Structure 1
Amino acid sequence: MYKVSEFSEMTGLSKETLRYYAEVKLLEPAYIDPKNHYRYYDDGSFFLAVLLGKLRRFGFTIQEMISVMEDESFAHLEELIQQKKRNIQMQMEDLQLKLEEMREFLESGKEEEG
């Protein structure tokens, strides 16, 4: 069993994030001491915490993460990640077009000066 501070260090999730994930029933502690209310996590929680950290980095919303956790088979996880990839690709293409427009705009300004 790991105290919250140890588990936070192991997983890279802040104590506040772990507390919030417990509140929304995304990642609940394996044990809560009834006397002092300290929360403890176990090895089984580690995989889920790492997965949640990855999903958050991939841009998953809390609701999407809850959906993944509720689907214990993770059947739709690959599909959701593929959709996130497509969205990021579209955003990158859009940003690339904006960069090109900016470059052209700046170039046209230099031509008018000269």
Structure 2
Amino acid sequence: MYKISEFAEVTGLSKETLRYYAEVKLLEPAYIDPVNKYRYYDDGSYFLAILLVKLKGFGFTIQEMIAVMEDESFANLEKLLQQKRMNISLQIENLTTKLEELDEFLESGRENEQ
């Protein structure tokens, strides 16, 4: 079992994030000491925390992460990841178009100076 500070260190999640995740029922401690209220996490919690770190890195919202965690079979995870991938691809296309438009605008300004 890991105390919250140890668990934060090994997962890269802050203690505040872990407390928030517990509050929204996203990642609850495996055990809370009834006397001192210390939170403890186990190896199963570690797997879930690493999954949450990845999902957060992929731009998943809290609501999307909760949906993944509620589906304990992770049956829909691949579908959600494919959707997120498609959204990221569209964002890249949109940003690439904006870059091209910006370059054209800069170039037209240079041509007018000559």
Q: TM exceeds 0.5?
A: yes
Shift of 1:44: 1.1
**Matched position secondary structure for 1:60:** coil
1:88 maps to a residue whose letter is I
Counterpart Cα distance in 2 of 1:36 and 1:86:
46
2:74 maps to a residue whose letter is F
State the partner residue of 1:81: 81
Counterpart Cα distance in 2 of 1:99 and 1:37:
52
Per-residue Cα deviation, 1:31-76 (whole angstroms, up to 9, x for no partner)? 1111110100011110000001100111111111111111111011
2:97 maps to a residue whose letter is L
1:90 maps to a residue whose letter is L
Shift of 1:110: 0.8
Counterpart Cα distance in 2 of 1:107 and 1:26:
50
Counterpart Cα distance in 1 of 2:50 and 2:99:
35
Counterpart Cα distance in 1 of 2:58 and 2:42:
25
State the partner residue of 2:26: 26
**Matched position secondary structure for 2:40:** strand
Shift of 1:21: 0.4
**Matched position secondary structure for 1:78:** helix
1:58 maps to a residue whose letter is F
State the partner residue of 2:71: 71
- Structure 2 unaligned spans of 5+: none
Is 2:4 aligned against 1:13? no
Give TM-score, length-normalised by structure 1: 0.98
**Matched position secondary structure for 1:47:** helix
Give RMSD over aligned pairs. 0.6
Is 2:107 aligned against 1:113? no
State the partner residue of 1:3: 3
Counterpart Cα distance in 2 of 1:26 and 1:112:
57
Counterpart Cα distance in 2 of 1:102 and 1:109:
11
